[in-house]
């Protein structure tokens, strides 16, 4: 069993290795995640900050969470893949978030919590046994 998992953007300009398994694996249905991903949701792995190594240059968009807190959304400037999300709280607590869809291996991922279920698309079937939070 490997203690890291690799991933990268669509074009391959940005690659990363993250400490694995993650501290948490969650789904976020908030509008900002829908906008940023161009999809219905984000699958996000919370990993140890000091266990994340990124190679290649990422661009950053400073977003705002619902609480008004900064959300730093890092992405590949060449292909646009969203890769890493960071917040001041995550910095203080020693973790950071990876967009789990960019991992090289995704078949075994089972998110356990769904954030912003109130914003979920009406057709989304919440898997049985997962926790739903109206907001975050």
CB nearer to Zn ion: pick between 2 and 68: 68
For Zn ion, give the closer residue by CB, 28 or 47. 28
**Residue 113: how many other CB atoms lie within 10 Å:** 16
Task: In angstroms, give the least distance from the CB of 87 to Zn ion.
Answer: 11
**Smallest gap from residue 20 Cβ to Zn ion (A):** 22
Closer Cβ to Zn ion, 39 or 50, answer by number: 39
Residues 6 or more apart whose Cβ sits within 8 Å of residue 89: 69
Under the rule (CB under 5 A), what is the footprint of Zn ion? Answer: 9, 11, 13, 28, 30, 33, 76, 78-79
- Whole-number minimum distance, CB 109 to Zn ion, in Å? 17
Name the 3-class secondary structure at 102.
helix
Q: Where are the alpha helices (DSSP H) in the chain?
A: 31-37, 88-93
User: How many Cβ atoms sit within 10 Å of the Cβ of residue 103?
Assistant: 21
């Amino acid at each position: 069993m490997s203690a890291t998992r690799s991933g990268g953007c669509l074009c391959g300009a940005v690659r990363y290795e993250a400490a694995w398994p993650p501290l948490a694996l969650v789904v976020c249905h908030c509008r900002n995640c829908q906008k940023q991903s161009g999809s219905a949701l984000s699958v996000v792995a919370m990993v140890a900050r000091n266990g994340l190594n990124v190679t290649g240059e990422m661009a950053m968009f400073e977003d705002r969470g619902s609480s008004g807190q900064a959300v730093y959304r890092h992405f590949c400037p060449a292909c646009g893949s969203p890769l890493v999300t960071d917040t001041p709280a995550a910095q203080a607590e020693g973790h950071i978030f990876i967009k789990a869809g960019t991992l090289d291996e995704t078949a075994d991922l089972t998110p356990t919590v769904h954030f912003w279920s109130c914003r979920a698309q009406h057709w989304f079937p919440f898997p049985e046994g997962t926790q739903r939070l109206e907001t975050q």
